[in-house]
């Protein structure tokens, strides 16, 4: 194995990292291995993972059950095209997803990333209305502070200011935006919270194919938690104005908020649902877009009579087999109790950060803990402090947040929380 210095030099010259540049001056840490909730660096340091590898590794790393699922599937095939062919892992996974998601969702389209699942959902909505001879319904409506991915259509419905796509403003599809609600998770939804969205619907519903939202928790656009009552009212408005509802549960699905899916907090069902990230337990990339039977049948019966999308690695057998194993691990575990215990620990432990003048807010929902600062952090200086404290936390903008793997022990979680609180206390502006 080459030395760490050689690896870093080669990485710096040739490898692009997310939201970064070649020869970037932000620190990069070479990883040797990962086991459970621990990340072992090449220099021997061991870090407790507070991010679940961007919210996906809910069972931690190198899990024997998931390893076995991959090994077993490899004996049959690693991949096979999905055009004109099918296989047991894909069918079984589709059946399982239909079983555990809201009842109206009966059809499954597989893709290979969360961003693509959003693209698929948007295309489904537009093609649905085209098949119903309402081709003028082409626009998407959403709220500020959202994030739905980095591909072009997904960027077009992400926050136009915080969504990091102002550079592409002249290229992106022009969508409709409403102010996000100010009602927090534990509050009721006032008239002024829903009014901006309702006004957009009143004025533009004839051009709107769908509303797209992250239910209850807005992720990378601001880590904001909003009232379930708001989501219930959005569902009612979609029905009233004949607009589809797309829910992006890529970050919130599979137990992260304390419900299996965040829309369950509002007891509503979308017309289209996007899933990804922890679908495979963070092992490999796979996403799914679920739709109602009515949407699927309408697209089938319209012109051209088929849905116009087809990724090369759609329904990859290795990924589907791993997803099935991951879902069984989750559903067979006391995951509600586990997430509730994580929530209690995060609530108790992170509240100490509220005392600091540079901290604007501390909020927790399920296995999500957020510390919002008044000013943006300097990742270049803050990231090494977390690593020196023995934890892996990847803050952004004004936010330091935790989404640990569900398998984290009480001792590990307490160490993670204490490390974060210590670093927050030492922040200077």
What is the C-alpha to C-alpha distance for residues 113 and 262, in angstroms, rounded to an integer?
A: 20
Structural fold of domain 76-331: 3.40.640
Where is 10: in which H helix or E strand? helix 4-14
**Catalytically annotated residues:** 19, 147, 248, 277
In 205-301, which ranges are continuous DSSP H helix? 228-240, 293-301
What is the C-alpha to C-alpha distance for residues 406 and 335, in angstroms, rounded to an integer?
A: 8
Q: Is 287 exposed, middle or buried (0-12, 13-18, 19+ CB in 10 A)?
A: buried
b/e sequence 330-363, b meaning 16+ C-beta within 10 Å: beeeebeebbebbbebbeebbebbeebeebebbb
pLDDT in tens, the chain (429 residues): 679 999 999 999 999 999 888 888 889 999 999 999 999 999 999 999 999 999 999 999 999 999 999 999 999 999 999 999 999 999 999 999 999 999 999 999 999 999 999 999 999 999 999 999 999 999 999 999 999 999 999 999 999 876 566 788 888 999 999 999 999 999 999 999 999 999 999 999 999 999 999 999 999 989 999 999 999 999 999 999 999 999 999 999 999 999 999 999 999 999 999 999 999 999 999 999 999 999 999 999 999 999 989 999 999 999 999 999 999 999 999 999 999 999 999 999 999 999 999 999 999 999 999 999 999 999 999 999 999 999 999 999 999 999 999 999 999 999 999 999 999 999 987
Both tokens of residue 408? 């984290």
In the chain, CATH 3.90.1150.10 sits at 4-62+334-425
Where is 88: in which H helix or E strand? helix 88-100
In the chain, CATH 3.40.640.10 sits at 76-331
CATH for 4-62+334-425, options being 3.90.1150.10, 3.40.50.1820, 3.40.80.10, 3.40.50.150: 3.90.1150.10
CA dihedral for 13, 14, 15, 20, sign (positive or negative): positive
Residue 383 and residue 354 in contact, taking contact as beta carbons nearer than 8 Å: no
Q: Are strands 272-275 and 287-292 parallel, antiparallel or unpaired?
A: antiparallel
Strand partners, 373: 359
């Amino acid at each position: 194995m080459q030395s760490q210095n050689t690896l870093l030099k080669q990485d710096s010259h040739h490898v692009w990292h997310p939201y970064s540049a070649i020869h970037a001056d932000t620190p990069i840490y070479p990883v040797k291995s990962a086991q459970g909730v621990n990340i072992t660096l090449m220099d021997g340091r061991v870090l407790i993972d507070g991010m679940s590898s961007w919210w996906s590794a809910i069972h931690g790393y190198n899990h024997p059950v998931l390893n076995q699922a991959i090994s077993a599937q490899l004996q049959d095939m690693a991949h096979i095209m999905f055009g004109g062919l099918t296989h047991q892992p894909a069918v079984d996974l589709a059946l399982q997803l239909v079983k555990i998601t809201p009842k109206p969702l009966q059809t499954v389209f597989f893709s290979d990333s969360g961003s693509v699942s959003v693209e698929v959902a948007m295309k489904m909505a537009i093609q649905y209305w085209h098949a119903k001879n309402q081709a003028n319904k082409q626009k998407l409506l959403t709220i500020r502070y959202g994030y739905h991915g980095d591909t072009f259509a997904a960027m077009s419905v992400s926050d136009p200011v915080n969504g990091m796509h102002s550079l592409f403003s002249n290229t992106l599809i022009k969508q409709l935006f409403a102010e996000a609600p100010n009602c927090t998770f534990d509050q009721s939804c006032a008239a002024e919270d829903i009014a901006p969205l309702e006004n957009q619907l009143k004025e533009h519903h004839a051009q709107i194919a769908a509303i797209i939202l992250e239910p209850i928790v807005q992720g990378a656009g601001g880590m904001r938690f909003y009232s379930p009552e708001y989501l219930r009212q959005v569902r009612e408005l979609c029905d009233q104005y004949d607009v589809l509802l797309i829910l992006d549960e890529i970050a919130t699905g599979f137990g992260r908020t304390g419900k299996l899916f965040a829309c369950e907090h509002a007891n509503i069902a979308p017309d289209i649902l996007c899933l990804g990230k922890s679908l495979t337990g963070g092992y490999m990339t796979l996403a799914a877009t679920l739709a109602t039977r009515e949407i699927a049948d309408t697209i089938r019966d319209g012109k051209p009579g088929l849905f116009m999308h087809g990724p090369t690695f759609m329904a990859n057998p290795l990924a589907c087999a791993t997803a099935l194993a991951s879902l069984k691990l989750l559903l067979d575990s006391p995951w509600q109790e586990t997430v509730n215990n994580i929530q209690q620990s995060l609530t108790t432990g992170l509240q100490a950060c509220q005392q600091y003048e540079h901290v604007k807010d501390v909020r927790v929902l399920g296995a999500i803990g957020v510390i919002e600062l008044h000013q943006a952090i300097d990742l270049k200086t803050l990231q090494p402090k977390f690593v020196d404290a023995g934890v892996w936390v990847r803050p952004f903008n004004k936010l330091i947040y935790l989404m640990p793997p569900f398998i984290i022990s009480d001792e590990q979680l307490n160490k993670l929380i204490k490390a974060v609180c210590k670093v927050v206390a030492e922040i200077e502006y």
